[in-house]
């Protein structure tokens, strides 16, 4: 049995921007988001992606079009551009043909980007689109290069939050 909520442990030598979503965490995120598949993974790589169509560092998901059910597990060191782009993509796709789910560290709710991009609109406070926050229980395990499923890996010293945007 895989422990979805392992003890916190920082794995030495692991790039913190290469945190891969494990299958167990993805199953929970898909359930919370209400989807059965992703059409596009915008912050992925060849070793870890959750859609047949995906953008890696070389393609730069911030400069490519988004469509359908979009999964995003962005680099945690530079979250704000991904939030800005999500709002842009929702604005240019007003027909409701785009849906975005993003996994972020939940211990960053005091950050200025959270107060600029999340807090004012979360949980039904915007008329252009809906943003729902799902704070995941405990700490989730992340995979990393060479171990995309996170077998034996510890969890980071923070919880995670799933943000789910829908056009209205």
Q: Give the gyration radius of the chain's Cα atoms.
A: 15
Closest CA to 84 of 27, 141, 165: 165
* Confidence band for 74, pLDDT divided at 50, 70 and 90: very high
> What is the value of pTM for the model shown?
0.86
What is the per-residue pLDDT across 88-140, written as a single tens digit (0 to 9) for each?
Answer: 998 887 667 778 999 888 777 888 999 999 988 887 777 677 889 999 888 88
pLDDT of residue 8: 42
What are the residues whose beta carbons fall under 8 Å from the beta carbon of 40, sequence distance 6 or more?
51, 53, 54, 55, 66, 67, 68, 69, 70, 71
Contact 100, 66 (CB under 8 A): yes
Mean pLDDT, residues 37-45 taken together: 95
3-state helix, strand, coil in the chain (%, to 5): 20, 25, 55
- Write the CA distances from 45 to 31, 55, 60, 107, 126, integer angstroms: 23, 7, 11, 25, 33
| In the predicted structure, residue 65 carries a pLDDT above the cut 80 | yes
Q: How far apart are CA 74 and CA 64, in angstroms?
A: 14
Q: Residue 52 class from Cβ within 10 Å (0-12 exposed, 13-18 middle, 19+ buried)?
A: exposed
Phi, psi of 47 (to 5 degrees): -80, -25
């Amino acid at each position: 049995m895989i422990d979805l909520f392992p003890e916190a442990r920082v794995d030495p030598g692991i790039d913190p921007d290469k945190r891969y979503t494990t299958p167990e965490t993805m199953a929970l995120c898909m359930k919370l988001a209400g989807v059965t598949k992703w059409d596009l993974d915008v912050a992925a790589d060849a070793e870890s992606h959750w859609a047949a169509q995906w953008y890696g560092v070389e393609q730069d998901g911030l400069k490519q079009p988004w469509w359908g059910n979009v999964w995003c597990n962005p680099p945690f060191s530079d979250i704000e551009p991904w939030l800005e782009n999500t709002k842009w993509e929702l604005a240019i796709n007003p027909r409701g043909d785009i849906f975005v789910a993003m996994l972020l560290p939940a211990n960053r709710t005091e950050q200025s980007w959270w107060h600029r991009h999340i807090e004012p609109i979360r949980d039904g406070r915007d008329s252009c689109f809906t943003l729902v926050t799902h704070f995941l229980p405990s700490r989730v395990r992340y995979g990393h290069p060479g171990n995309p499923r996170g077998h034996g890996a510890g969890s980071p010293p923070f919880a995670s939050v799933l943000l789910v945007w829908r056009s209205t």
